Structure 1
Amino acid sequence: MRSPFRLRAPVILPADPACSVLRDAVLDVDAAGRIGYCGPAERAPESPDRLVDCTGILLPGLVNAHAHSPMTVLRGMGGDLPLLRWLHEVIWPAETRLTPPDIEAGMLLGSVEMLRAGVTTSTEMYFHGEQLANAVLAAGGRLVATMGIIDAPNWDWRAMLEEINDWIDADGLRHGPDERIEVGYGPHSAYTLPPEALTMVGEVARERGALVHIHVAESAAEDAVQRERYGSVPAMLESLGLLGGRVLAAHAVHLSDEDIQVFARAGVSVAHCPGSNAKLASGIARLTDLRAAGVPVGLGTDGPASNDDLDLWEDMRLAALLARLSTMDSAALGAVDVLLMATRGGAEALGRNDIGALEAGRWADVVQVDADDPAFAAGLDVPDEQLLANLVWAAGSRTVRDVWVAGEQVVADGEPTRVDRAKVQAAAAAVTRRLLRG
Structure 2
Amino acid sequence: MTIIFARWLFDGEKILQNLGIAFDTRIVETGSFEILETRYPEADIVELSEREVLLPGLVNPHVHLEFGANTTHLRYGDFIAWLESVITHRDELIDACHAACYKRQIEEMLHTGTTCFGAVSSYGKELKACRAAPQRVVYFNEAIGSRPAAVDALYSDFMQRLEASEKAASDRFVPAVAIHAPYSVHPVLMKKILHETEGKPLTAHFMESPAEKMWLREGRGAFRLFFETYLGQSRPVCDPETFLEMLEGRETLLTHAVQADETLLDRIAAAGHSIIHCPRSNRLLGCGRLAIETVGEKGIPWLLGTDGLSSNTSLNLWEEMRAALMLHHLAPLDLFALDLLRAATSRAADALGLPVGRIVPGNHADLVTVELPDTPENRETLPLQTILHTRKIDRLYIGGKRHV
TM-score (norm 2): 0.86
Q: Trace 1:91-240 onto structure 2 (pairs within 5 A).
A: 91-97=86-92, 102-129=97-124, 132-151=126-145, 156-167=153-164, 170=167, 175-176=169-170, 179-205=171-197, 207=198, 209-228=199-218, 233-239=239-245
Q: Which amino acid aligns with 1:344?
A: S
Residue 21 (structure 1) aligned with residue 16 (structure 2)? yes
Aligned partners of 2:187 and 2:238 also within 8 Å:
no
Determine the C-alpha separation between the residues in 2 that align with 1:50 and 1:115: 23
Residue 367 (structure 1) aligned with residue 364 (structure 2)? no
Percent identity reads 26
Aligned partners of 2:141 and 2:162 also within 8 Å:
no
The match for 1:420 is none
Residue 332 (structure 1) shift: 9.7
Alpha-carbon spacing, 1:49–1:42, altered in 2? closer, same or farther (3 Å): closer
Match of 2:60 among 53, 59, 64: 64
Residue 290 (structure 1) shift: 1.2
Determine the C-alpha separation between the residues in 2 that align with 1:84 and 1:39: 53
The match for 2:82 is 86
SS in 2 for 1:71: coil
The match for 1:390 is 385
Residue 49 (structure 1) aligned with residue 55 (structure 2)? no
Structure 1 stretch displaced more, 193-202 or 354-363:
193-202
Residue 136 (structure 1) shift: 3.5
Structure 1 stretch displaced more, 252-261 or 313-322:
313-322
Residue 228 (structure 1) shift: 3.4
Aligned partners of 2:68 and 2:101 also within 8 Å:
yes
Aligned partners of 2:57 and 2:366 also within 8 Å:
yes
Determine the C-alpha separation between the residues in 2 that align with 1:105 and 1:70: 12
Aligned partners of 2:365 and 2:398 also within 8 Å:
yes
Residue 102 (structure 1) shift: 3.4
Aligned partners of 1:232 and 1:259 also within 8 Å:
no
Residue 233 (structure 1) shift: 4.8
Residue 403 (structure 1) aligned with residue 396 (structure 2)? yes
Match of 1:269 among 264, 267, 274: 274
Alpha-carbon spacing, 1:38–1:342, altered in 2? closer, same or farther (3 Å): same
Aligned partners of 1:22 and 1:40 also within 8 Å:
no
Alpha-carbon spacing, 1:212–1:389, altered in 2? closer, same or farther (3 Å): same
Determine the C-alpha separation between the residues in 2 that align with 1:329 and 1:181: 36
- How large is the Cα RMSD of the aligned pairs? 2.7
Name structure 1 gaps, 5 residues minimum.
412-438
**How many residue pairs align between the two structures?**
381
The match for 2:27 is 35
Residue 103 (structure 1) shift: 4.4
- 1:153-182 Cα deviation digits (max 9, x unpaired): 9994212331255346655xxx33xx1111
Alpha-carbon spacing, 1:126–1:106, altered in 2? closer, same or farther (3 Å): farther
Structure 1 stretch displaced more, 401-410 or 66-75:
66-75
